[in-house]
Amino acid sequence: MRKKIVAGNWKMNKNSSETADLLTQLTGTLPNTTAEVMVAPTFVNLALAVKQMAGSSVEVVAQNMHFAQSGAYTGEISSNMLQSIGIETVILGHSERRAYFGEDDALLAKKVDAAMDADMRVIFCFGEELQDRKAGDHFKVVENQLKNGLFHLETTQWKKIVLAYEPVWAIGTGETASPDQAQEMHAFIRKTIAEAYDQETAQVVTILYGGSVKPANANEIFSKPDVDGGLIGGAALNAEDFAAIVAAI
Ligand code: 13P
């Protein structure tokens, strides 16, 4: 049985009091579920979020981290720092990190390794841009992102990997990949992993879909056999919407 996950990526939203408020609202609104529920506030609010959600079933996760443990990397945060406040899962490779901060596959592979060294779980994001899809290159692009970012891992390390397919053209645009487009890509991702590793690894890994998931479309997207949950941006900033998406899983 694959793990189902719904994770809220808050991106650069919510100051400290807003973070506390949203977490309080979530505590009152989230339905009971067997799925894992995660929230990713900004770095400065992680410690307060961990404290506030202690004892709840919601896991607080980070949006990014550096590959080094410590050193002269002004403005960066290490796995050790995250773990010291109780964070055990990190989102890596988000398309906004790739597009606006120059994070490429080689850097992401190093970050993935740092997470593996620290025994942290990674939510690894990838996905094609609109021009790739228009050119019919979306499968190739995704295959390369997986190969370059993750396929150096040992089979046993895959138990610490969650995948998040986020087509860039669907992020924050209101345009969702159709459930069939999501299913087609998720099935392709599993096939690619099965070829690089084995069927079991491919069947066990959780693959999330991200990109304009809302209460109105979550049911249909989550009903697809290879879609194991969602990475939610905008709709995760509203407790009722996020709770409705969690209910859909
Ligand atoms: P939206 O749900 O706002 O499209 O964002 C998706 C995303 O980037 C989650 O990481």
Q: What is the DSSP letter of 153?
A: S
pLDDT at 171: 87
Reading the block at residue 211, the tokens are 């990109």
The pLDDT assigned to 177 comes to: 87
**Count of Cβ atoms closer than 10 Å to residue 65 Cβ:** 25
Long-range contacts of 81-88 (CB under 8 A, 24+ apart): 82/46, 82/120, 83/118, 83/120, 85/46, 85/47, 85/50, 86/50, 86/54, 86/60, 87/46, 87/50, 87/60, 87/61, 87/62, 87/120, 88/59, 88/61, 88/120, 88/121
Half-sphere exposure of 238 (CA within 13 A, CB side): 9
Looking at the whole model, is its pTM more than 0.85?
A: yes
From 39, 97, 123, 232, mutation site for ligand 1 pocket: most ligand atoms within 8 A of C-beta: 232
Whether 89 contacts 120, CB under 8 Å? yes
Q: What pLDDT is attached to residue 229?
A: 98
pLDDT tens, residue order, the chain (249 aa): 799 999 999 999 999 999 999 999 999 999 999 999 999 999 999 999 999 999 999 999 999 999 999 999 999 999 999 999 999 999 999 999 999 999 999 999 999 999 999 999 999 999 999 999 999 999 999 999 999 999 999 999 999 999 999 999 998 888 888 999 999 999 999 999 999 999 999 999 999 999 999 999 999 999 999 999 999 999 999 999 999 999 999
The residue contributing the CA closest to ligand 1 atom 5 is 233
Residue 59 is predicted with a pLDDT of: 98
Q: What are the phi and psi torsion angles at 88 (to 5°)?
A: -120, 5
Pocket test for ligand 1, best of 171, 208, 217, 238 (most atoms within 8 A of CB): 171
Print the SS3 string covering 171-201.
CCCCCCCCHHHHHHHHHHHHHHHHHHCCHHH
Residues carrying an active site annotation: 94, 166
